[in-house]
Amino acid sequence: MTHQIDDDITLAPVQPVGATVQIVVDTLFARIKSDEYPLDTRMPSERTLASELGVARNTVREALDVLETHNVIRRRAGSGSFVTYRSNTPRSAPADTVADDTSPLDHLVVRGILEPEIVRLAVINMTPRLIAALSETLSQIEAIQTDVDGFIELEDKLYTQIAEGTGNPLLASCYQLALTTYRQSFRTKLRRRSLTPKRLQDYQKRYNTLFNAIASRDVASAVEFIKLHLVEEQQLLMQDI
């Protein structure tokens, strides 16, 4: 038996679950909606999904519980989990936003592709005027103590200025789409939860380091910094916080 479900629903668990479980729910649901796991097909085993997503098997099991609760999948004893989800939206209808189909892990993959090149080009191409504007944004970031929403807004502004500093409007537009998707996804909620006062201070120091590398035209240091920063972001994403 198949079940029609609105594409824009949020798969909220009946009981609260950890952040990592919710991320796995979002990731698997996005794959199902995109037909990576089509209707009536068997999903990969818990062991395979756990290895692929870098999480524990019990985390995958909890995520599958949520999907089954919402009639997205059906489990058969001894056979596995089968997709029962069918969209209410015709396949030919344009999506309102790619955010619906983008998991937090998808977003980090895109950042990993774009940000090192964006930073490299920004170091080479940013004009003194743009660097001065970036410095002003950094000063505003450093003045924040507890305003998480204000910090996230300025953080987006900082990254946007760096992207625009590449001198490549197409690349900047691609990155702006990534930022828009970020703001509309579960990742923003997780971000708010993770930004404790101590972590705010840590990010302020990090962005100061990045700014100094850009201002001094140190391509190697700036690119290495952003790569390490992305690794730490991925580790944070996969934690239960």
The stretches in the chain having pLDDT less than 50 are 1-10, 13-14, 89-96, 240-241
Q: What does the pLDDT read at residue 130?
A: 94
Provide the whole-model pTM: 0.58
Domains of the chain: 3-87 (1.10.10.10), 98-237 (1.20.120.530)
**Which pLDDT score, from 0 to 100, does residue 219 have?**
96
- What confidence tens digit (pLDDT) does each residue in 35-75 have? 788 888 889 999 999 988 888 999 999 999 989 988 899 98
Residue 187, pLDDT score: 56
Give me the pLDDT at residue 9, please: 45
**What pLDDT is recorded for position 94?**
37
Secondary structure in 3-state letters for the chain: CCEEECCCCCCCCCCCCCHHHHHHHHHHHHHHHCCCCCCCCECCCHHHHHHHHCCCHHHHHHHHHHHHHCCCEEEECCCEEEECEEECCCCCCCCCCHHHHCCHHHHHHHHHHHHHHHHHHHHHHCCHHHHHHHHHHHHHHHCCCCCHHHHHHHHHHHHHHHHHCCCCHHHHHHHHHHHHHHHHCHHHHHHHHHCCHHHHHHHHHHHHHHHHHHHCCCHHHHHHHHHHHHHHHHHHHCCCC
